[in-house]
Amino acid sequence: AVRDGFTFDSSKPARILLFRPSVKVGEQSTGGMFEPRAEWTTEARKNNEAALNSRQKSLGHQVTYMPEIPGEQAQTVREYQALFGAVAQSVINYQFFAGNRLETKKRENRGGVFQWSLGPGVKNLPGAEQSDYILFILTEDHYGSTGRKIFQFLAAAAVGAGVTSGLHAGYAGLIETKSGNLVWINADNAMGGNVREADGAEKRVAQLLEEFPLAPDKAVTKP
């Protein structure tokens, strides 16, 4: 989704600050609890960053990475990442599904109003003063344990109950630095790609950045 009326300034490339993606990978227990796996998360983070490095060159923007930051500032960044995750989930629940759409997001015969924000405080984040936009990326993957998969099978066979095994969520959002407005988002709770493998991470990043707004000189005009 794209914010109403959003376009890049065609007179200069956009300066985009890419924060280090938030990556969580673990196992889903038989009872459905998330159990973090440090080795999986480390591998996924490495794979995702390599895929992003390759992918961002084709966007046509001036992309820089978040600088190394200490203590309290790092905590502030984590809080904004969590806020973005909450907003992204709200977009899925209350914007993408028309039947759930909030009254303030409705518009007759035009597919709804896309106006969401993290607030103007984002301009105070480290590195933001030299950027026009901030790109947040969050991924969370729960891989079903053997016990969970057996439980899923037994539940379906015994009573026909639907028990899910695994979660593969991905959120990517572009925030206007000055206002904190969300101008573009791609969010899905059922993304593809096994992020623990290089090829899978490339697939995930391609999905996360699908239909990302290109720089004017990279965009292709459709007939």
pTM of the model: 0.83
Q: Give the pLDDT mean for 120-129.
A: 92
pLDDT grade for 110, boundaries at 50, 70 and 90? low
For residues 109 and 93, give the distance between their C-alpha atoms in angstroms, rounded to a whole number: 20
pLDDT grade for 223, boundaries at 50, 70 and 90? very low
Q: Please report the pLDDT score of residue 73 as a whole number.
A: 87
pLDDT grade for 221, boundaries at 50, 70 and 90? very low
CA distances from 138 to 35, 58, 87, 135, 162 (A): 18, 21, 12, 10, 27
Q: Give the pLDDT mean for 88-99.
A: 84
- Give, rounded to a whole angstrom, the gap between the first and last alpha carbons of the chain: 21
pLDDT per position as a tens digit, 46-63: 999 999 988 887 888 888
Is it the case that residue 159 has pLDDT exceeding 60?
Answer: no
How far, in whole angstroms, is CA 223 from its chain's centroid? 30
pLDDT grade for 156, boundaries at 50, 70 and 90? low
Query: What percent of the chain is predicted at pLDDT more than 70?
Result: 83
Task: Centre a 10 Å sphere on the Cβ of residue 78 and count the other Cβ atoms it contains.
Answer: 12
Q: Give the pLDDT mean for 7-17.
A: 87
**All residues at 6 or more sequence positions from 117 whose CB lies less than 8 Å from its CB, including other chains:** 179, 180, 181, 182
